[in-house]
Structure 1
Amino acid sequence: MEAQSLLVERIFLTVFPLVAIVTVGFLYASKFKPDMSVANQLNIDVFTPALIFAVLSAESFDLTQYQGLAIGAIAIVLGSGLLLLPICKLLSVHPKTFIPPMMFSNSGNLGIPLIILAFGEQALPAAIILFITENFLHFTVGIYILDHKTKPYELLKIPMIVATTLGLLWSNFDIYLPKSIHTFIDMLGQIAIPLMLFSLGVRLIGLELKNWKVGVIGAALCPLSGITIAIITQSVIQLSDTQFAYLFLFSALPPALLNYMIAERYKQEPQQVASIVLLGNIGSLLFIPATLAFIL
Protein backbone atom coordinates (compact mmCIF):
# COMPACT_ATOMS: atom_id res chain seq x y z
CA MET A 1 0.00 0.00 0.00
CA GLU A 2 2.83 2.36 0.92
CA ALA A 3 4.65 1.50 -2.32
CA GLN A 4 1.55 2.32 -4.37
CA SER A 5 1.15 5.64 -2.55
CA LEU A 6 4.75 6.50 -3.34
CA LEU A 7 4.19 5.53 -6.96
CA VAL A 8 1.11 7.76 -7.26
CA GLU A 9 3.05 10.58 -5.64
CA ARG A 10 5.89 10.12 -8.12
CA ILE A 11 3.44 10.17 -11.03
CA PHE A 12 2.01 13.43 -9.77
CA LEU A 13 5.50 14.88 -9.38
CA THR A 14 6.25 13.85 -12.96
CA VAL A 15 3.11 15.39 -14.49
CA PHE A 16 2.77 18.50 -12.29
CA PRO A 17 5.93 20.27 -13.57
CA LEU A 18 4.62 19.83 -17.13
CA VAL A 19 1.35 21.55 -16.26
CA ALA A 20 3.16 24.23 -14.23
CA ILE A 21 5.45 25.23 -17.13
CA VAL A 22 2.46 25.36 -19.49
CA THR A 23 0.74 27.66 -16.99
CA VAL A 24 3.76 29.98 -16.88
CA GLY A 25 3.70 30.17 -20.69
CA PHE A 26 -0.01 30.95 -20.63
CA LEU A 27 0.35 33.70 -18.01
CA TYR A 28 3.34 35.25 -19.79
CA ALA A 29 1.55 35.25 -23.13
CA SER A 30 -1.55 36.80 -21.56
CA LYS A 31 0.47 39.94 -20.88
CA PHE A 32 3.22 40.08 -23.52
CA LYS A 33 1.81 38.14 -26.56
CA PRO A 34 5.21 36.70 -27.68
CA ASP A 35 5.81 35.30 -31.17
CA MET A 36 7.03 31.71 -30.63
CA SER A 37 7.42 30.74 -34.30
CA VAL A 38 11.24 31.00 -34.34
CA ALA A 39 11.56 29.19 -31.00
CA ASN A 40 9.28 26.39 -32.23
CA GLN A 41 11.30 26.03 -35.43
CA LEU A 42 14.53 25.75 -33.43
CA ASN A 43 12.93 23.16 -31.17
CA ILE A 44 11.88 20.96 -34.08
CA ASP A 45 15.15 21.31 -36.00
CA VAL A 46 17.82 21.53 -33.25
CA PHE A 47 16.85 20.94 -29.64
CA THR A 48 14.56 17.90 -29.93
CA PRO A 49 16.87 16.06 -32.38
CA ALA A 50 19.71 16.68 -29.92
CA LEU A 51 17.59 15.19 -27.13
CA ILE A 52 16.82 12.07 -29.19
CA PHE A 53 20.46 11.50 -30.17
CA ALA A 54 21.68 12.07 -26.61
CA VAL A 55 19.27 9.47 -25.23
CA LEU A 56 19.88 6.83 -27.89
CA SER A 57 23.65 7.15 -28.17
CA ALA A 58 24.08 6.83 -24.42
CA GLU A 59 22.51 3.35 -24.26
CA SER A 60 23.55 0.01 -25.71
CA PHE A 61 20.94 -2.72 -26.20
CA ASP A 62 20.00 -5.64 -28.42
CA LEU A 63 17.13 -4.64 -30.70
CA THR A 64 16.28 -8.26 -31.57
CA GLN A 65 15.05 -8.95 -28.03
CA TYR A 66 12.27 -6.40 -28.44
CA GLN A 67 10.86 -7.13 -31.90
CA GLY A 68 7.50 -8.22 -30.50
CA LEU A 69 7.32 -5.13 -28.32
CA ALA A 70 8.00 -2.89 -31.32
CA ILE A 71 5.29 -4.67 -33.32
CA GLY A 72 2.88 -4.13 -30.44
CA ALA A 73 3.74 -0.42 -30.33
CA ILE A 74 3.16 -0.10 -34.08
CA ALA A 75 -0.24 -1.80 -33.70
CA ILE A 76 -1.25 0.58 -30.90
CA VAL A 77 -0.21 3.72 -32.78
CA LEU A 78 -1.84 2.80 -36.08
CA GLY A 79 -4.79 0.95 -34.54
CA SER A 80 -5.76 3.87 -32.31
CA GLY A 81 -5.98 6.14 -35.33
CA LEU A 82 -8.17 3.73 -37.28
CA LEU A 83 -10.38 3.01 -34.26
CA LEU A 84 -11.10 6.68 -33.55
CA LEU A 85 -11.37 7.93 -37.13
CA PRO A 86 -15.20 7.66 -37.18
CA ILE A 87 -15.37 9.76 -33.98
CA CYS A 88 -14.13 12.83 -35.84
CA LYS A 89 -17.41 13.23 -37.69
CA LEU A 90 -19.40 12.99 -34.45
CA LEU A 91 -17.21 15.66 -32.82
CA SER A 92 -17.22 17.87 -35.94
CA VAL A 93 -13.42 18.05 -35.83
CA HIS A 94 -11.00 17.58 -38.73
CA PRO A 95 -9.24 14.16 -38.67
CA LYS A 96 -5.87 15.85 -39.26
CA THR A 97 -6.43 17.77 -36.04
CA PHE A 98 -7.81 15.01 -33.80
CA ILE A 99 -6.25 11.73 -34.98
CA PRO A 100 -2.48 12.46 -34.62
CA PRO A 101 -2.74 13.31 -30.88
CA MET A 102 -4.74 10.12 -30.39
CA MET A 103 -2.04 8.06 -32.16
CA PHE A 104 1.23 9.55 -30.97
CA SER A 105 1.74 9.40 -27.22
CA ASN A 106 4.03 11.02 -24.68
CA SER A 107 6.46 8.09 -24.75
CA GLY A 108 9.58 10.19 -24.17
CA ASN A 109 9.54 12.64 -21.28
CA LEU A 110 6.64 10.86 -19.52
CA GLY A 111 6.74 7.26 -20.80
CA ILE A 112 10.44 6.55 -20.19
CA PRO A 113 10.57 7.75 -16.55
CA LEU A 114 7.24 6.06 -15.75
CA ILE A 115 8.35 2.67 -17.09
CA ILE A 116 11.66 2.88 -15.22
CA LEU A 117 9.85 3.96 -12.07
CA ALA A 118 7.39 1.08 -12.26
CA PHE A 119 9.76 -1.71 -13.36
CA GLY A 120 13.29 -0.59 -12.51
CA GLU A 121 16.39 0.30 -14.55
CA GLN A 122 16.27 -3.06 -16.37
CA ALA A 123 13.21 -1.74 -18.22
CA LEU A 124 15.14 1.14 -19.83
CA PRO A 125 15.89 -0.69 -23.14
CA ALA A 126 12.19 -1.54 -23.53
CA ALA A 127 11.20 2.07 -22.79
CA ILE A 128 13.68 3.30 -25.41
CA ILE A 129 12.35 0.82 -28.00
CA LEU A 130 8.79 2.05 -27.42
CA PHE A 131 9.97 5.64 -27.71
CA ILE A 132 11.92 4.98 -30.92
CA THR A 133 8.99 3.18 -32.53
CA GLU A 134 6.46 5.88 -31.66
CA ASN A 135 8.82 8.68 -32.64
CA PHE A 136 9.68 7.12 -36.01
CA LEU A 137 6.00 6.64 -36.85
CA HIS A 138 5.27 10.20 -35.78
CA PHE A 139 7.74 11.60 -38.29
CA THR A 140 6.73 9.30 -41.13
CA VAL A 141 3.05 8.37 -40.88
CA GLY A 142 2.25 11.45 -38.77
CA ILE A 143 3.82 13.85 -41.25
CA TYR A 144 2.09 12.09 -44.15
CA ILE A 145 -1.30 12.49 -42.43
CA LEU A 146 -0.78 16.24 -42.27
CA ASP A 147 0.75 16.58 -45.73
CA HIS A 148 -0.01 13.87 -48.31
CA LYS A 149 2.39 15.54 -50.74
CA THR A 150 5.39 14.61 -48.59
CA LYS A 151 7.77 12.37 -50.52
CA PRO A 152 9.39 9.39 -48.74
CA TYR A 153 12.91 10.62 -49.43
CA GLU A 154 12.03 14.01 -47.93
CA LEU A 155 11.35 12.28 -44.60
CA LEU A 156 15.03 11.33 -44.47
CA LYS A 157 15.85 15.03 -44.29
CA ILE A 158 13.81 15.58 -41.14
CA PRO A 159 16.28 16.32 -38.31
CA MET A 160 14.50 14.01 -35.86
CA ILE A 161 14.66 11.07 -38.28
CA VAL A 162 18.36 11.77 -38.86
CA ALA A 163 18.95 11.99 -35.09
CA THR A 164 17.11 8.70 -34.49
CA THR A 165 19.11 6.91 -37.20
CA LEU A 166 22.46 8.22 -35.98
CA GLY A 167 21.56 7.47 -32.36
CA LEU A 168 20.74 3.85 -33.22
CA LEU A 169 23.98 3.48 -35.17
CA TRP A 170 26.00 4.85 -32.26
CA SER A 171 24.25 2.47 -29.88
CA ASN A 172 24.30 -0.62 -32.08
CA PHE A 173 27.97 -0.34 -33.05
CA ASP A 174 29.03 1.05 -29.67
CA ILE A 175 30.82 3.99 -31.32
CA TYR A 176 32.89 6.08 -28.93
CA LEU A 177 31.61 9.60 -28.39
CA PRO A 178 33.84 11.94 -26.36
CA LYS A 179 32.22 12.95 -23.10
CA SER A 180 32.59 16.64 -23.91
CA ILE A 181 30.66 16.17 -27.20
CA HIS A 182 27.92 14.12 -25.54
CA THR A 183 27.56 16.71 -22.77
CA PHE A 184 27.26 19.48 -25.37
CA ILE A 185 24.54 17.60 -27.29
CA ASP A 186 22.76 16.62 -24.08
CA MET A 187 22.66 20.26 -22.93
CA LEU A 188 21.10 21.29 -26.22
CA GLY A 189 18.54 18.52 -25.82
CA GLN A 190 17.62 19.62 -22.31
CA ILE A 191 16.18 22.82 -23.81
CA ALA A 192 13.59 20.90 -25.83
CA ILE A 193 10.97 19.80 -23.31
CA PRO A 194 10.71 23.01 -21.21
CA LEU A 195 10.56 25.13 -24.37
CA MET A 196 7.93 22.82 -25.84
CA LEU A 197 5.79 23.14 -22.72
CA PHE A 198 6.20 26.92 -22.50
CA SER A 199 5.24 27.28 -26.16
CA LEU A 200 2.20 25.09 -25.58
CA GLY A 201 1.06 27.48 -22.82
CA VAL A 202 1.51 30.46 -25.14
CA ARG A 203 -0.65 28.80 -27.78
CA LEU A 204 -3.50 28.37 -25.28
CA ILE A 205 -4.16 32.11 -25.47
CA GLY A 206 -7.34 32.67 -27.45
CA LEU A 207 -8.70 29.14 -27.07
CA GLU A 208 -12.42 28.92 -27.72
CA LEU A 209 -14.77 27.00 -25.44
CA LYS A 210 -15.44 24.36 -28.11
CA ASN A 211 -11.73 23.50 -28.12
CA TRP A 212 -11.96 22.46 -24.47
CA LYS A 213 -14.86 20.13 -25.20
CA VAL A 214 -12.88 18.20 -27.80
CA GLY A 215 -9.84 18.23 -25.50
CA VAL A 216 -11.76 16.62 -22.64
CA ILE A 217 -13.17 13.91 -24.91
CA GLY A 218 -9.71 13.28 -26.37
CA ALA A 219 -8.24 12.98 -22.87
CA ALA A 220 -10.46 9.95 -22.28
CA LEU A 221 -10.39 8.40 -25.76
CA CYS A 222 -6.60 8.49 -26.17
CA PRO A 223 -5.77 6.01 -23.36
CA LEU A 224 -8.96 3.98 -23.80
CA SER A 225 -8.31 3.36 -27.50
CA GLY A 226 -4.67 2.48 -26.83
CA ILE A 227 -5.56 0.00 -24.10
CA THR A 228 -8.18 -1.62 -26.33
CA ILE A 229 -5.68 -2.13 -29.15
CA ALA A 230 -3.04 -3.40 -26.68
CA ILE A 231 -5.37 -6.13 -25.41
CA ILE A 232 -6.34 -7.17 -28.94
CA THR A 233 -2.68 -7.18 -30.05
CA GLN A 234 -1.59 -9.29 -27.08
CA SER A 235 -4.07 -12.00 -28.05
CA VAL A 236 -2.26 -12.26 -31.38
CA ILE A 237 1.47 -11.79 -30.66
CA GLN A 238 1.53 -13.25 -27.12
CA LEU A 239 4.25 -11.18 -25.46
CA SER A 240 5.74 -12.28 -22.15
CA ASP A 241 3.96 -10.94 -19.08
CA THR A 242 6.76 -8.45 -18.48
CA GLN A 243 6.82 -7.07 -22.00
CA PHE A 244 3.03 -6.90 -22.12
CA ALA A 245 3.11 -4.83 -18.92
CA TYR A 246 5.48 -2.40 -20.67
CA LEU A 247 3.20 -2.29 -23.71
CA PHE A 248 0.07 -1.83 -21.60
CA LEU A 249 1.56 1.18 -19.81
CA PHE A 250 2.68 2.60 -23.16
CA SER A 251 -0.87 2.22 -24.50
CA ALA A 252 -2.32 4.40 -21.72
CA LEU A 253 0.04 7.37 -22.19
CA PRO A 254 -1.45 10.79 -23.05
CA PRO A 255 -0.79 12.70 -26.32
CA ALA A 256 2.79 13.73 -27.04
CA LEU A 257 3.73 17.40 -26.79
CA LEU A 258 5.24 17.11 -30.27
CA ASN A 259 1.73 16.86 -31.71
CA TYR A 260 1.29 20.54 -30.97
CA MET A 261 4.71 21.47 -32.37
CA ILE A 262 4.03 19.68 -35.64
CA ALA A 263 0.50 21.11 -35.88
CA GLU A 264 2.05 24.57 -35.46
CA ARG A 265 4.56 23.89 -38.21
CA TYR A 266 1.92 22.60 -40.65
CA LYS A 267 -0.70 25.16 -39.53
CA GLN A 268 -3.22 22.44 -38.69
CA GLU A 269 -5.42 24.13 -36.07
CA PRO A 270 -2.62 24.37 -33.47
CA GLN A 271 -4.92 25.93 -30.85
CA GLN A 272 -7.25 22.95 -31.06
CA VAL A 273 -4.33 20.52 -30.87
CA ALA A 274 -2.92 22.45 -27.90
CA SER A 275 -6.11 21.90 -25.91
CA ILE A 276 -6.16 18.18 -26.77
CA VAL A 277 -2.52 17.76 -25.70
CA LEU A 278 -2.83 19.79 -22.51
CA LEU A 279 -6.05 18.19 -21.27
CA GLY A 280 -4.79 14.75 -22.27
CA ASN A 281 -1.73 15.16 -20.06
CA ILE A 282 -3.82 16.50 -17.18
CA GLY A 283 -6.16 13.52 -17.60
CA SER A 284 -3.18 11.20 -17.26
CA LEU A 285 -3.18 12.03 -13.55
CA LEU A 286 -6.23 9.75 -13.40
CA PHE A 287 -5.51 7.18 -16.10
CA ILE A 288 -1.84 6.45 -15.35
CA PRO A 289 -2.30 5.55 -11.66
CA ALA A 290 -5.25 3.32 -12.58
CA THR A 291 -3.17 1.61 -15.28
CA LEU A 292 -0.24 1.08 -12.92
CA ALA A 293 -2.55 -0.33 -10.25
CA PHE A 294 -3.80 -2.85 -12.83
CA ILE A 295 -0.46 -4.03 -14.22
CA LEU A 296 1.40 -4.06 -10.91
Structure 2
Amino acid sequence: MFTIVAGILFPVFAITLVGFAIGRWIKIDFQPINRINMDFFVPALVFSSIGTMSLDITKIPLLGASILTTLIPFLLMFPICKLFKINFKVWALPNIFRNTGNLAIPLFTYAFGPQALAPAVLLFVVSACAHFSLGFAIVSKGNQLKKIIKIPTFIAAFLALSLNLSGITVWPPIYEAAALLGQTAVPIMLLSLGAQMCNMKLAGLKVGIACTLLSLATGAITFLTIYLFVPLSTLHLQMMLLFTMLPPAAMNYMIAERFNMEPTKVASMVLYGNFFSVITLPILLTITFSLAQ
Protein backbone atom coordinates (compact mmCIF):
# COMPACT_ATOMS: atom_id res chain seq x y z
CA MET A 1 0.00 0.00 0.00
CA PHE A 2 2.84 2.40 0.83
CA THR A 3 4.39 1.82 -2.59
CA ILE A 4 1.07 2.54 -4.32
CA VAL A 5 0.45 5.73 -2.36
CA ALA A 6 4.03 6.92 -2.83
CA GLY A 7 3.82 6.24 -6.55
CA ILE A 8 0.66 8.34 -6.84
CA LEU A 9 1.89 11.29 -4.80
CA PHE A 10 5.46 11.41 -6.13
CA PRO A 11 4.62 13.07 -9.49
CA VAL A 12 2.43 15.65 -7.72
CA PHE A 13 5.00 16.53 -5.06
CA ALA A 14 7.94 16.34 -7.50
CA ILE A 15 6.44 18.95 -9.84
CA THR A 16 5.44 21.06 -6.83
CA LEU A 17 9.03 20.89 -5.59
CA VAL A 18 10.27 22.08 -8.99
CA GLY A 19 7.87 25.02 -8.64
CA PHE A 20 9.31 25.75 -5.19
CA ALA A 21 12.83 25.72 -6.65
CA ILE A 22 11.76 28.11 -9.42
CA GLY A 23 10.17 30.47 -6.91
CA ARG A 24 13.10 30.22 -4.50
CA TRP A 25 16.03 30.69 -6.87
CA ILE A 26 14.82 31.94 -10.24
CA LYS A 27 12.05 34.05 -8.66
CA ILE A 28 9.74 34.04 -11.67
CA ASP A 29 6.53 36.01 -11.31
CA PHE A 30 3.77 33.44 -11.80
CA GLN A 31 0.97 36.01 -11.83
CA PRO A 32 0.84 36.46 -15.63
CA ILE A 33 1.43 32.74 -16.11
CA ASN A 34 -1.47 31.95 -13.78
CA ARG A 35 -3.71 34.36 -15.65
CA ILE A 36 -2.90 32.70 -18.99
CA ASN A 37 -3.52 29.32 -17.38
CA MET A 38 -6.90 30.33 -15.93
CA ASP A 39 -8.03 32.18 -19.07
CA PHE A 40 -6.89 29.68 -21.72
CA PHE A 41 -5.43 26.36 -20.57
CA VAL A 42 -7.95 25.54 -17.81
CA PRO A 43 -10.98 26.47 -19.99
CA ALA A 44 -9.51 24.22 -22.73
CA LEU A 45 -9.22 21.38 -20.22
CA VAL A 46 -12.80 21.97 -19.05
CA PHE A 47 -14.15 22.15 -22.61
CA SER A 48 -12.42 18.98 -23.83
CA SER A 49 -13.27 16.98 -20.70
CA ILE A 50 -16.93 17.92 -20.31
CA GLY A 51 -17.55 18.03 -24.05
CA THR A 52 -16.53 14.39 -24.47
CA MET A 53 -17.82 13.13 -21.12
CA SER A 54 -20.78 10.78 -21.08
CA LEU A 55 -23.53 12.75 -19.35
CA ASP A 56 -26.43 10.67 -18.15
CA ILE A 57 -28.57 10.13 -15.09
CA THR A 58 -25.69 8.35 -13.33
CA LYS A 59 -23.87 11.70 -13.00
CA ILE A 60 -26.68 13.29 -10.95
CA PRO A 61 -25.50 11.84 -7.59
CA LEU A 62 -21.96 13.11 -8.23
CA LEU A 63 -23.32 16.55 -9.09
CA GLY A 64 -25.40 16.55 -5.91
CA ALA A 65 -22.39 15.48 -3.85
CA SER A 66 -20.28 18.28 -5.34
CA ILE A 67 -22.90 20.83 -4.26
CA LEU A 68 -22.92 19.40 -0.73
CA THR A 69 -19.13 19.86 -0.49
CA THR A 70 -19.78 23.61 -0.56
CA LEU A 71 -23.10 23.80 1.26
CA ILE A 72 -22.26 21.72 4.34
CA PRO A 73 -18.98 23.46 5.30
CA PHE A 74 -20.71 26.81 4.67
CA LEU A 75 -23.41 25.93 7.21
CA LEU A 76 -20.93 24.40 9.67
CA MET A 77 -18.73 27.50 9.77
CA PHE A 78 -21.50 29.67 11.24
CA PRO A 79 -21.66 27.92 14.66
CA ILE A 80 -17.90 27.17 14.60
CA CYS A 81 -16.95 30.81 14.12
CA LYS A 82 -19.43 31.90 16.76
CA LEU A 83 -18.17 29.28 19.23
CA PHE A 84 -14.48 30.16 18.82
CA LYS A 85 -15.18 33.89 18.29
CA ILE A 86 -13.35 34.09 14.98
CA ASN A 87 -14.15 36.17 11.90
CA PHE A 88 -16.52 34.23 9.64
CA LYS A 89 -15.43 36.04 6.48
CA VAL A 90 -11.77 35.23 7.13
CA TRP A 91 -12.11 31.61 8.24
CA ALA A 92 -15.06 30.45 6.15
CA LEU A 93 -13.52 30.65 2.68
CA PRO A 94 -10.47 28.38 3.33
CA ASN A 95 -12.76 25.77 4.87
CA ILE A 96 -15.38 25.90 2.13
CA PHE A 97 -13.33 26.27 -1.04
CA ARG A 98 -10.52 23.78 -1.44
CA ASN A 99 -7.68 23.16 -3.85
CA THR A 100 -9.89 21.52 -6.47
CA GLY A 101 -7.78 22.64 -9.41
CA ASN A 102 -4.02 22.46 -9.15
CA LEU A 103 -4.07 19.59 -6.64
CA ALA A 104 -7.31 17.64 -7.10
CA ILE A 105 -7.19 17.14 -10.86
CA PRO A 106 -3.65 15.70 -11.03
CA LEU A 107 -4.19 13.77 -7.79
CA PHE A 108 -7.33 12.06 -9.08
CA THR A 109 -5.71 11.33 -12.44
CA TYR A 110 -2.66 9.72 -10.87
CA ALA A 111 -4.70 7.86 -8.24
CA PHE A 112 -7.56 6.49 -10.35
CA GLY A 113 -6.40 6.74 -13.96
CA PRO A 114 -7.79 8.56 -17.03
CA GLN A 115 -11.38 7.60 -16.19
CA ALA A 116 -11.23 9.98 -13.23
CA LEU A 117 -10.32 13.07 -15.29
CA ALA A 118 -13.82 13.93 -16.53
CA PRO A 119 -15.55 13.65 -13.12
CA ALA A 120 -12.60 15.52 -11.54
CA VAL A 121 -13.09 18.38 -13.98
CA LEU A 122 -16.84 18.34 -13.31
CA LEU A 123 -16.16 18.66 -9.57
CA PHE A 124 -13.70 21.47 -10.28
CA VAL A 125 -16.19 23.39 -12.42
CA VAL A 126 -18.95 23.18 -9.79
CA SER A 127 -16.51 24.25 -7.08
CA ALA A 128 -15.11 27.10 -9.19
CA CYS A 129 -18.59 28.46 -9.98
CA ALA A 130 -19.48 28.33 -6.28
CA HIS A 131 -16.19 30.03 -5.41
CA PHE A 132 -16.76 32.91 -7.80
CA SER A 133 -20.36 33.36 -6.64
CA LEU A 134 -20.81 32.35 -3.00
CA GLY A 135 -17.17 33.12 -2.19
CA PHE A 136 -17.39 36.69 -3.43
CA ALA A 137 -20.83 37.10 -1.88
CA ILE A 138 -19.51 36.13 1.58
CA VAL A 139 -16.96 38.95 1.59
CA SER A 140 -18.69 41.55 -0.59
CA LYS A 141 -22.41 40.94 -0.02
CA GLY A 142 -22.94 41.70 -3.68
CA ASN A 143 -24.50 40.06 -6.71
CA GLN A 144 -21.68 38.45 -8.67
CA LEU A 145 -23.77 36.94 -11.50
CA LYS A 146 -22.39 39.31 -14.15
CA LYS A 147 -18.82 38.46 -13.13
CA ILE A 148 -19.46 34.71 -13.14
CA ILE A 149 -20.80 34.55 -16.70
CA LYS A 150 -17.68 36.39 -17.93
CA ILE A 151 -15.25 33.88 -16.43
CA PRO A 152 -13.59 31.82 -19.22
CA THR A 153 -13.89 28.58 -17.23
CA PHE A 154 -17.64 29.12 -16.81
CA ILE A 155 -18.07 29.98 -20.50
CA ALA A 156 -16.14 26.85 -21.53
CA ALA A 157 -18.19 24.67 -19.17
CA PHE A 158 -21.50 26.15 -20.36
CA LEU A 159 -20.56 25.71 -24.02
CA ALA A 160 -19.33 22.14 -23.52
CA LEU A 161 -22.44 21.17 -21.55
CA SER A 162 -24.73 22.74 -24.16
CA LEU A 163 -23.05 20.89 -27.01
CA ASN A 164 -22.93 17.63 -25.08
CA LEU A 165 -26.55 17.66 -23.92
CA SER A 166 -27.91 18.87 -27.27
CA GLY A 167 -26.14 16.12 -29.14
CA ILE A 168 -24.55 18.57 -31.57
CA THR A 169 -21.61 16.92 -33.29
CA VAL A 170 -18.34 18.82 -33.05
CA TRP A 171 -15.42 18.19 -35.37
CA PRO A 172 -13.24 15.80 -33.29
CA PRO A 173 -9.95 17.65 -33.97
CA ILE A 174 -11.44 20.63 -32.11
CA TYR A 175 -11.73 18.55 -28.94
CA GLU A 176 -8.27 17.10 -29.58
CA ALA A 177 -6.75 20.57 -29.91
CA ALA A 178 -8.50 21.68 -26.71
CA ALA A 179 -7.31 18.54 -24.92
CA LEU A 180 -3.73 19.17 -26.05
CA LEU A 181 -3.92 22.75 -24.80
CA GLY A 182 -5.58 21.60 -21.57
CA GLN A 183 -2.74 19.19 -20.80
CA THR A 184 -0.63 22.25 -20.06
CA ALA A 185 -2.93 23.35 -17.25
CA VAL A 186 -2.12 20.68 -14.65
CA PRO A 187 1.70 21.03 -14.52
CA ILE A 188 1.39 24.83 -14.44
CA MET A 189 -1.02 24.53 -11.50
CA LEU A 190 1.49 22.41 -9.58
CA LEU A 191 4.45 24.65 -10.44
CA SER A 192 2.51 27.70 -9.27
CA LEU A 193 1.51 25.97 -6.05
CA GLY A 194 5.15 25.11 -5.35
CA ALA A 195 6.28 28.69 -6.04
CA GLN A 196 3.70 29.98 -3.53
CA MET A 197 5.31 27.82 -0.82
CA CYS A 198 8.24 30.26 -0.82
CA ASN A 199 5.98 32.81 0.90
CA MET A 200 5.41 30.72 4.02
CA LYS A 201 6.39 32.45 7.26
CA LEU A 202 6.87 30.86 10.67
CA ALA A 203 4.62 33.50 12.25
CA GLY A 204 1.62 31.99 10.46
CA LEU A 205 2.27 28.41 11.58
CA LYS A 206 -0.28 28.45 14.42
CA VAL A 207 -3.03 29.75 12.15
CA GLY A 208 -2.04 27.26 9.46
CA ILE A 209 -2.26 24.30 11.84
CA ALA A 210 -5.60 25.46 13.23
CA CYS A 211 -7.06 25.88 9.74
CA THR A 212 -5.74 22.49 8.61
CA LEU A 213 -7.34 20.69 11.56
CA LEU A 214 -10.60 22.59 11.15
CA SER A 215 -10.62 21.90 7.41
CA LEU A 216 -10.16 18.18 7.99
CA ALA A 217 -12.97 18.18 10.57
CA THR A 218 -15.51 19.99 8.34
CA GLY A 219 -14.42 17.81 5.43
CA ALA A 220 -14.92 14.62 7.41
CA ILE A 221 -18.45 15.68 8.40
CA THR A 222 -19.21 16.52 4.77
CA PHE A 223 -17.93 13.18 3.50
CA LEU A 224 -19.85 11.26 6.18
CA THR A 225 -23.05 13.00 5.09
CA ILE A 226 -22.37 12.15 1.44
CA TYR A 227 -21.44 8.57 2.33
CA LEU A 228 -24.72 8.05 4.22
CA PHE A 229 -27.17 9.85 1.96
CA VAL A 230 -25.81 10.07 -1.60
CA PRO A 231 -25.69 6.87 -3.72
CA LEU A 232 -22.30 7.00 -5.43
CA SER A 233 -20.21 4.44 -7.29
CA THR A 234 -17.06 3.22 -5.57
CA LEU A 235 -14.85 5.42 -7.76
CA HIS A 236 -16.89 8.55 -7.12
CA LEU A 237 -17.07 7.78 -3.40
CA GLN A 238 -13.28 7.46 -3.29
CA MET A 239 -12.92 10.75 -5.12
CA MET A 240 -15.31 12.51 -2.73
CA LEU A 241 -13.35 11.32 0.31
CA LEU A 242 -10.28 13.10 -1.02
CA PHE A 243 -12.24 16.01 -2.47
CA THR A 244 -13.93 16.93 0.82
CA MET A 245 -10.63 17.10 2.74
CA LEU A 246 -8.35 18.86 0.29
CA PRO A 247 -6.34 21.87 1.55
CA PRO A 248 -7.57 25.43 0.89
CA ALA A 249 -7.49 26.92 -2.60
CA ALA A 250 -5.03 29.71 -3.44
CA MET A 251 -7.95 31.77 -4.76
CA ASN A 252 -9.03 32.34 -1.14
CA TYR A 253 -5.98 34.50 -0.61
CA MET A 254 -6.68 36.52 -3.76
CA ILE A 255 -10.24 37.19 -2.61
CA ALA A 256 -9.10 38.10 0.91
CA GLU A 257 -6.50 40.49 -0.51
CA ARG A 258 -8.99 42.12 -2.86
CA PHE A 259 -11.52 42.78 -0.08
CA ASN A 260 -8.90 43.42 2.64
CA MET A 261 -10.04 40.49 4.82
CA GLU A 262 -6.84 39.80 6.78
CA PRO A 263 -4.99 38.54 3.68
CA THR A 264 -1.81 37.68 5.64
CA LYS A 265 -3.75 35.31 7.87
CA VAL A 266 -5.56 33.73 4.91
CA ALA A 267 -2.23 33.31 3.11
CA SER A 268 -0.92 31.33 6.10
CA MET A 269 -4.01 29.11 6.00
CA VAL A 270 -3.57 28.42 2.29
CA LEU A 271 0.17 27.87 2.25
CA TYR A 272 0.48 25.77 5.39
CA GLY A 273 -2.68 23.86 4.52
CA ASN A 274 -1.15 22.80 1.21
CA PHE A 275 2.23 22.17 2.85
CA PHE A 276 0.69 19.82 5.42
CA SER A 277 -0.93 17.85 2.61
CA VAL A 278 2.43 16.06 2.45
CA ILE A 279 1.27 14.40 5.67
CA THR A 280 -2.50 14.28 5.23
CA LEU A 281 -2.73 13.03 1.63
CA PRO A 282 -0.88 9.72 2.18
CA ILE A 283 -3.20 8.98 5.12
CA LEU A 284 -6.32 9.94 3.12
CA LEU A 285 -5.19 7.90 0.12
CA THR A 286 -4.68 4.84 2.29
CA ILE A 287 -8.21 5.21 3.66
CA THR A 288 -9.52 5.86 0.13
CA PHE A 289 -8.15 2.63 -1.28
CA SER A 290 -9.65 0.69 1.63
CA LEU A 291 -13.13 1.70 0.40
CA ALA A 292 -12.64 -0.46 -2.69
CA GLN A 293 -11.93 -3.59 -0.66
Shorter-chain TM-score category? 0.7 to 0.9
- CA separation in 1, counterparts of 2:105 and 2:63? 15
User: In 1, are the aligned partners of 2:94 and 2:252 still within 8 Å (CA)?
Assistant: yes
- 1:193-272 to structure 2, matched below 5 A, reads 193-235=186-228, 237-240=229-232, 242=234, 243-260=236-253, 269=263, 271-272=267-268
Deviations 1:44-65 (A, max 9, x none): 3333222222322232321x22
- CA separation in 2, counterparts of 1:265 and 1:46? 23
- CA separation in 2, counterparts of 1:116 and 1:51? 13
Distance 1:288 1:112, change over 3 A: same
Q: Which residue of 1 aligns with 2:14?
A: 17
- CA separation in 1, counterparts of 2:172 and 2:92? 40
- CA separation in 1, counterparts of 2:77 and 2:282? 21
- CA separation in 2, counterparts of 1:186 and 1:120? 16
Pick the aligned partner of 1:58 from 47, 52, 57: 52
Q: Secondary structure at the match of 1:171?
A: helix
Pick the aligned partner of 2:25 from 23, 28, 49: 28
- 1:1-296 to structure 2, matched below 5 A, reads 4-28=1-25, 32=27, 34-62=28-56, 64-85=57-78, 94-108=87-101, 110-112=103-105, 114-115=107-108, 126-235=119-228, 237-240=229-232, 242=234, 243-260=236-253, 269=263, 271-272=267-268, 274-296=270-292
Residue 27 of structure 1: how far off its partner (Å) = 1.2
User: In 2, are the aligned partners of 1:139 and 1:160 still within 8 Å (CA)?
Assistant: no
Residue 165 of structure 1: how far off its partner (Å) = 0.9
User: In 1, are the aligned partners of 2:102 and 2:190 still within 8 Å (CA)?
Assistant: no
- CA separation in 1, counterparts of 2:144 and 2:118? 31
- CA separation in 2, counterparts of 1:224 and 1:253? 11
- CA separation in 2, counterparts of 1:79 and 1:221? 14
Deviations 1:63-103 (A, max 9, x none): x2232332222222221233245555788875444332322
- CA separation in 2, counterparts of 1:92 and 1:245? 34
RMSD over aligned CA atoms reads: 3.5
Give the number of aligned pairs: 288
Distance 1:146 1:201, change over 3 A: farther
- CA separation in 2, counterparts of 1:208 and 1:46? 32
Q: Which ranges in structure 2 are unaligned for 5 or more consecutive residues?
A: none
Distance 1:261 1:170, change over 3 A: farther
User: In 2, are the aligned partners of 1:112 and 1:128 still within 8 Å (CA)?
Assistant: yes
* Counterpart residue type for residue 275 of structure 1: L
- CA separation in 1, counterparts of 2:81 and 2:29? 30
Q: Which moved more, 1:132-141 or 1:108-117?
A: 108-117
Q: Which ranges in structure 1 are unaligned for 5 or more consecutive residues?
A: none
* Counterpart residue type for residue 58 of structure 1: T
- CA separation in 2, counterparts of 1:217 and 1:89? 16
- CA separation in 2, counterparts of 1:146 and 1:295? 37
Report the TM-score when normalising by structure 2: 0.77
Deviations 1:176-205 (A, max 9, x none): 444443344334433433334434444444
Residue 8 of structure 1: how far off its partner (Å) = 1.1
